[in-house]
Amino acid sequence: MKPEELKGKVASVIGAGKSGLSAAGLLARAGARPFLSEFGAVSPEAAATLRQLGVPFEEGGHSERVFEAELCIVSPGIPQRVPVIREMHARGIPVVSEIELAYWFCPARIIGITGTDGKTTTATLIHRISEAEGERQGFRAFSVGNIGIPFSSEVPGMTAADIAVLELSSYQLEACFDFRPNIAVLTNITPDHMDRYGGSIEAYATAKYRIHARQGTGDTLIYNHDDPILRAHFDRQEPWPFRVVRVGLRAETLNAAPGDFVSVAEGEIVIRTSGSTEKLMRVDEIMKPGFRGDHNLYNVLSSVAAASAAGVAPETMRLVLAEFGGVEHRQEFAGHACGLDWINDSKATNVNALRQALQSVPAGMVLIAGGRDKGNDYSVIADLVREKVACIVAIGESRQKIADAFHGVVNVLPAGSFREAVELARKNARPGASVLFSPACSSFDMFRDFEDRGRQFKQLVRELT
C-alpha cells in the first residue's frame, strides 16, 4: 500500500506497547484515523502519548469499535490465534504488522536480519559497519526493529540514501506481505517459540522465510549454509529469483558448489563474488575474550556478506570488525567477584543459545538458568551439560522442569529469587570457575524484558564485588 492511500482510512492498532504507539503515530501523521485497543492496561506514559497524538484508545478489552476499521495493525507479541485477530480475519479486515506498515513509508535501503540466534549481534555489526561507511559517504544508518526501536518511529526521518538495518523476529514477520528488503540475512533455524507455533519447527521456519518471500531481481539473500534446515530449504529450489550468498566456516566445502559465499580459509575471512575470491582479514584480528566462539564467527561472516552486498568498502569492514567487542547481554563479561568470573548471557532465550554459551565457557562452571519456558526440549543438551557444568541453579517458572530434565545429569538447586540464585552460585562454584547466567527461557515471569534481567544480574555481581 502507498502512504497516500492511508489518508482518511480508519485503522485499528492492537497493543499499546512501543510498536503499537509508533504505528499509531505514523498513521496519524499520514492522515489516517487510528484507534488503539489494548486488552490490558495502557500505561500513563502511553496514554499521554496517545492524547498528544490525538489518537483515541481503549483499554481492559476489545470493544466492537475495534472492528469498525479498514485496516488492522497488530503488535508482534499478539499471536494470530487470539480472538480479536481471528475476528478481524473473519470480517475480512486486513491485518498487518508494524514492520509492514513502516515498510510502506520507507525510502531507505533495507537490510533485514532474522533467524533463531545471532540476530542482535549480526544486526549490531551490520549497523556499525553501515554507520562507519555512512560517515565516509554521507548517508545515515538506522538500527530498528526487534533490537528495541520500532521501525515506524524512525522511518519518517529516512531518505533514499540511508540504510535501515532491521532485526526481525518471526512474530514481526508473520503479518508481512509486501515487505521486501534489499538484503536479507537468515542466521539459523533451531526450535524456539514452540508454544506459539504448536510445537512445529516447520511453522516457525515458515514465518522466518517471509523475509525473502517478496525478494526478486536486484535483491540479495544471505544464509548460513552450515545450518541443515536452511541448507535444505535453499538447495531445493534453483534458481531463486534473487542473488544468493552462502556463509559457512569452511571455504573448501562452499567451493564445491558454484555461487557467491563468505567463509574462512587458512584463518582468513574470504569473500567470493562472481568466481573471484578476495581475502578480507584474519579471524584472530576479530575474535577476542568476550567475543568468541563459532556462533560469533557466523555472525561476523553474515555481517561481512551483508556489508559487501551493500557496497561497503573493505577497509571500513576491517576497521569496525577489529574494534568490535560483542553486545550487551550476549556472553558479556559481567565482572570478577569472589574469585569467580561472572558471565551475563541474558539474551539467551532458547536452548540453542544456551548451547552456544556452554560451548564457549570453560568446563566446571555453575549455570544459572530458567524463566518462562517456551516449549523447550532440554534433553538435546544433556551430554554437553554433563561435560561442562558442575551445578545448575534453576530460577523462575521453569525451575522444576529444569530440575526434572537434568535429574541424574548434574545437581540442580532451585532458587526462589534472583538474589538467592546468585548467592547459591557463589557458594557452589569452585575457586577460579565461571558462573554463567544463560536462562534459555523468556524473562516475562520475573522481569520486564531480557535487558532488565541482564542488568539486574550485573547489579547483583557488582554488589558481590
Query: Mean of the pLDDT values across residues 257-266?
Result: 95
Strands lying side by side in the sheet with 276-282: 141-145, 163-167, 109-114, 183-186, 220-224, 243-247, 260-265, 268-273, 276-282
Residue at grid coordinates 498528544: 52
Residue at grid coordinates 522465510: 209
CA distance 388 to 410: 10
Q: Which helix (H) or strand (E) holds 390?
A: strand 389-395
Residue 426's pLDDT band (cuts 50, 70, 90)? very high
CA distance 335 to 432: 13
Query: Mean of the pLDDT values across residues 42-54?
Result: 96
Residue 17 backbone zone (phi > 0: left; psi -120 to 50: alpha; other: beta)? beta
Q: Let me know: does 378 contact 351? Beta carbons within 8 Å.
A: yes
Q: Let me know: does 367 contact 392? Beta carbons within 8 Å.
A: yes
Say which residues have a Cβ less than 8 Å from residue 411's Cβ, sequence separation at least 6.
Answer: 390, 391, 392
Q: Let me know: does 225 contact 248? Beta carbons within 8 Å.
A: yes
Q: Is the pLDDT of residue 329 over 80?
A: yes
Architecture of domain 332-464: Alpha-Beta Complex (3.90)
* Amino acid at residue number 15: G
Residue at grid coordinates 508454544: 195
Q: Is the pLDDT of residue 290 over 80?
A: no
CA distance 352 to 304: 23
Residue 328's pLDDT band (cuts 50, 70, 90)? confident
425-459 as b/e, with b when 16 or more CB fall inside 10 Å? bbebbeeebbbbbbbbbbbeebbeebeebbbbbbe
pLDDT of residue 195: 80
Torsion sign (Cα): 41, 45, 48, 50: negative
pLDDT of residue 236: 77
Q: Which CATH superfamily is domain 102-323 in?
A: Mur-like, catalytic domain (3.40.1190.10)
Residue 366 backbone zone (phi > 0: left; psi -120 to 50: alpha; other: beta)? beta
Fold of 9-93: Rossmann fold (3.40.50)
DSSP H stretches of helix in 310-368: 314-323, 351-360
CA distance 413 to 322: 40
Query: Mean of the pLDDT values across residues 199-221?
Result: 95
Query: Mean of the pLDDT values across residues 367-384?
Result: 94
Residue 381's pLDDT band (cuts 50, 70, 90)? very high
Q: Is the pLDDT of residue 376 over 80?
A: yes
pLDDT of residue 5: 95
pLDDT of residue 168: 97
Considering the chain, what is the average pLDDT of its residues?
Answer: 94
Q: Is the pLDDT of residue 88 over 90?
A: yes
* Residue 402 in grid coordinates: 529444569
For 144-158, 241-255, 351-365, which range has the lowest pLDDT when averaged over its residues?
Answer: 351-365
What 3-state class would DSSP assign to 131?
helix
Q: Is the pLDDT of residue 197 over 90?
A: no
Query: Mean of the pLDDT values across residues 423-450?
Result: 95
Instruction: Output the furthest CA–CA distance in the chain (Å, rounded).
Output: 67
Q: Let me know: does 88 contact 64? Beta carbons within 8 Å.
A: no
> At 99, phi and psi to the nearest 5?
-65, -45
Cα 204 vs. chain centroid, distance in angstroms? 14
Closest CA to 119 of 356, 344, 373, 302: 302
pLDDT of residue 327: 77
Q: Let me know: does 151 contact 221? Beta carbons within 8 Å.
A: no
Share of residues in the chain with pLDDT > 70 (%):
99
Delimit the domains of the chain by residue range.
9-93, 102-323, 332-464
pLDDT of residue 192: 79
Query: Mean of the pLDDT values across residues 16-27?
Result: 96
Query: Mean of the pLDDT values across residues 368-395?
Result: 95
Say which residues have a Cβ less than 8 Å from residue 195's Cβ, sequence separation at least 6.
Answer: 373, 374, 375
Common-topology check for domains 102-323 and 332-464: no
The string of pLDDT tens digits covering residues 72-83 is 999 988 888 899
* Amino acid at residue number 103: Y
pLDDT of residue 257: 87
Query: Mean of the pLDDT values across residues 24-33?
Result: 97
CB atoms within 10 A of CB 92: 6
Q: Let me know: does 115 contact 293? Beta carbons within 8 Å.
A: no
Query: Mean of the pLDDT values across residues 144-169?
Result: 96
Residue 235's pLDDT band (cuts 50, 70, 90)? confident
CA distance 183 to 164: 10
Q: Is the pLDDT of residue 148 over 90?
A: no
pLDDT of residue 245: 97
